[in-house]
Structure 1
């Protein structure tokens, strides 16, 4: 197990660590938009350029090496910040990734898919509309993963983009506009840490008046919970509704 290089603290009290897909250009932006004070965020990148089965499957194997470097920053928690990459092999795959991270860094860990399930449960959601940038085969994996956690996906929508750089270029308004009639759904889940779902979530909450969870919101929320930050640390939009 790698020991943190130092535990000295300057003027912040919590350090959040994230393992981010190398092609992702949205996570750092969302951290700037949402991270509460006094918290600092520290990122290590894991290699992927497209959402292919081969590259998604390889992400977990790259996590321990990136974790060793991230541990040098004496982070308080680490989240594997990729939704599809952390559920690629189905239920329990996220837990296996978390265990590998904790073994290396010696700090609490989570994954985005783990965090999403926790966030949806915290809001009491059992039926959700799913909005993603994924191709259909990847949507199916998300639906199956949520279903294994007793969360029913009542419908899916999104632009079906295999290139994460294209995913990042979709405006939040366009993401929100992909949501039509809620039907039986109790809320909405906007998936993918490379999708501007955090901004779209705010639009959808105002428009629909229902709970909305975005991947990056859940990622930050769970990482800060593990680092010891309570619900009072979060901004009022979105996070405040999430309970410990």
Structure 2
């Protein structure tokens, strides 16, 4: 998240004339287990307060499984709770979660059936699938990479993702989630996978980038990052607005 979101925002067309600053407050988590994820989420309110000290314009909770492991629909509770912390600190800022962004991206793309790739052990990947299905989305196929070490997840070679995606059964899929984890890199493979599969391909990071830009009332266009971030599409085609922002 700390590499791919800046890369996407910095890669936007120069005509927008934008500049961004990035601030982070980390929640501790080393092994991707249910117990550590619960302890990590307990730190989220303090992190939101710390970031609101910087008067950020938008705050992103950048751990998809950390939200989904707390139960179906938890992204809504978390976003409301963390936003309230920014209000209490006189630093009112919208809050997006990568889990909520991914769920809402499926709605924007009008995707009711998806295939996905996850780095987690099988049990946690099933948690992701259950979370999607509780939101009314069917997971038609998936690949789980059985990688419990959080640092190892970040070192996975994203060049392998296109081949893994081609091995999924996407005959009945409306879209493919190339990385359902913000820790697993995928940005360099998004467009290639989309071109090969002929389906919308996105990730937790691209979905979160969409919502960051939308919360800032900016165009949601990022070249080469898949259909979700193509910009300029009609609402009926599944993605949102494109707003000129050259003077912002």
Same fold at TM > 0.5: yes
Q: TM-score, with normalisation over the residues of structure 1?
A: 0.84
- For residues 96 and 151 of structure 2, what CA distance do their matches in structure 1 show? 25
- Give how far 1:114 is off: 0.3
Q: Name the SS for the 1:157 alignment partner.
A: strand
How far apart are 1:236 and its partner, in Å?
Answer: 5.1
| Aligned counterparts, 1:19-168, within 5 A | 27-35=1-9, 36=12, 37-105=18-86, 106-168=92-154
TM-score, structure 2 normalization: 0.82
Q: Distance in 2 between matches of 1:81 and 1:206?
A: 27
Q: Point out 4+ residue stretches in structure 1 off by more than 4 angstroms.
A: none
* C-alpha separation in 1, matches of 2:110 and 2:223: 20
Unaligned runs of 5+ in 1: 1-26
Residues of 2 paired with 1:72 and 1:99: CA distance?
Answer: 18
CA separation of 1:235/1:75 partners in 2, compared to 1, >3 Å: closer, same or farther? farther
Task: Judge conservation of contact 1:108–1:227 (CA < 8 Å) in 2.
Answer: no
Are the aligned partners of 2:125 and 2:144 in contact in 1 as well (CA < 8 Å)? no
Number of aligned residue pairs: 217
Asked if structure 1 preserves the Cα contact closer than 8 Å seen for 2:64 and 2:182, the reply is yes
Give the unaligned 5+ runs of structure 2.
Answer: 13-17, 87-91, 232-238, 242-248
Contact map agreement 2:122 2:144 (CA 8 A) in 1: no
Matches within 5 A, 1:6-25: none
| Aligned partners of 1:130 and 1:153 also within 8 Å | yes
